[in-house]
Amino acid sequence: MKKIELEIVALSHSITQTHSYAVVLGEVNGLRRLPIVIGGFEAQAIAVALERMSPSRPLTHDLMKNFMMAFNVELHEVIINDLQEGIFFSKLVCSSANDTVEIDSRTSDALALAVRFGCSIYTYDTILDQAGILMEDDDKKKKVTPVTTETGGSDELKTMTMEELESLLTEVLDQEDYIRAIAIRDEIKSRKK
């Protein structure tokens, strides 16, 4: 089967499930999108890596990357290789000096590691046919940034003063709520322009 390269194009609250998030993968040089529902912790781990934030202590996926690097294990690619009853299955293609292995992984964890290692993400046509969404050509042209994080509450942020925003940013960073921190940081940036 031919592998199709994907990229993360959006990360937002899930419309279909409360307390969940959706990561949307887009076909590189194509119009298909693959939405995947993930948990809050995994969404936060992906957002932290995408935004190049530095938590005060390593998150689980940072620890995994540090562990792999300490033992000279390289992550080459992530492959979303199966879909069963609405659940995506993935594998990590890793190598050391002696061997290349494929390791079973939850897709959300695989994506969090892919962002940290900067490696490619792939899937197969059959999975995109089953669960993908075909975007109109005009919709693809409207895409402004490679990743959008929609966290809600942006109206509330617009009513706050800069001092309140900076205080809130410090507070949510202390609580390690990195997804909300991104929205606050973006509001602060937009006001400084």
- pLDDT digit string (tens) for 132-144? 888 876 554 444 3
Of the pLDDT bands very low, low, confident and very high (cuts 50, 70, 90), residue 14 is low
Where helices occur in the chain by DSSP H, the ranges are 40-50, 60-70, 107-117, 125-131, 137-142, 154-158, 162-174, 178-192
Rounded Cα gap, residues 168 and 159, in angstroms: 13
pLDDT score recorded for residue 147 = 45
Residue-by-residue DSSP string for 127-155: HHHHH-EEPPHHHHHH--SS-EEE-S-HH
Are the CB atoms for 135 and 31 separated by under 8 Å?
yes
Supply the CATH classification number for the domain 3-150: 3.10.690.10
pLDDT over 50 (residue 145): no
pLDDT digits (tens, 9 = 90+) for 32-61: 999 999 988 898 899 889 888 888 888 899
pLDDT, average across residues 83-111 = 96
Section 55-81 average pLDDT? 94
185 vs 86 pLDDT, higher one: 86
Asked if the model's pLDDT at residue 23 lies above 50, the reply is: yes
Q: Could you give the CA distance from residue 95 to residue 144 in angstroms, rounded to a whole number?
A: 36
Is 117:159 a contact under the CB 8 Å cutoff?
Answer: no
Mean pLDDT of the chain: 84
Write down the pTM of the prediction: 0.74
Region of poorest pLDDT, from 38-42, 83-87, 149-153, 183-187: 149-153
Q: Which of 27-36, 48-57, 76-85 is predicted least confidently?
A: 48-57
